[in-house]
Amino acid sequence: MSQITWSKKFRNVFIPKIKEKLKKKNNFNVSATNGQLENLYNGLVRYGMISIERTKKDDFIKVLKEDWRTHKSKIHFKLDAPSCREFYELFKATFPENSMSVIDFFKRSDTVRREDGRLYKYSTVKDAKSRTPISKKSNELKDIFSNL
């Protein structure tokens, strides 16, 4: 058993893979500039879709750009589940170079919250498009993202 676990292949292949996984950052890898994210934040504020008392501009940028474990920042949306899902889809389409998934955005990152501070239910957000194809804030969201 010890010959297998400490063989040359084990040291050269398996251990580097484990080290790489441990180094993996937990962030969205968003390719947007800080200016674009500031414009997005300002648009959300203009239409009253984000809680400005609980989410400052710096917190908004930190959540989308930095490792989730390095800060305590949260985004507090004033959106229902279908509108939040539409925000996610428009964001992903506007900034296609990212590693964002629905489950990471709403569940694993623990950085996106409702206005009352509770988490969005992942299953509700995931299935929102099939139940409500067009959200209440659809036109406003499209307007915000068209300016980016």
- 90-140 confidence digits (pLDDT tens): 998 898 887 778 888 888 888 899 999 898 888 888 887 777 778 888 899
**pLDDT (mean) for 51-68:** 90
Q: Determine the average pLDDT of the residues in 46-64.
A: 92
* pLDDT for residue 1 is more than 60: no
Between 54 and 134, residue with greater pLDDT: 54
Residue 3 in any domain: the answer is: no
Structural domain boundaries enclosing 74: 27-146
d(CA 11, CA 17): 10
Give pLDDT, residue 40: 94
Give how far Cα 122 sits from Cα of 55, 105, 113, 129, 141, Å. Answer: 21, 9, 11, 13, 20
Mean pLDDT of the region 6-18: 76
Alpha-carbon gap, residue 69 to 26, rounded angstroms? 7
Question: Contact 43/142 with Cβ under 8 angstroms?
Answer: no
Q: How far apart are CA 41 and CA 48, in angstroms?
A: 10
- At 3 the pLDDT is 58
Number of domains in the chain: 1
Look at residue 147 and tell me whether its pLDDT is greater than 60.
Answer: yes
Position 116, amino acid: D
* Across 69-85, average pLDDT: 90
Phi–psi pair at 28, nearest 5 degrees: -90, -10
How much is the pLDDT for 20? 72
Q: Percent of the chain beyond pLDDT 90?
A: 31
Taking the C-alpha atoms of residue 32 and residue 98, their distance in angstroms, rounded to an integer, is: 9
Residue 55 · residue 76 · CB < 8 Å: yes
5 falls within a domain: no
With respect to residue 18, please indicate whether it lies within any of the assigned structural domains.
no
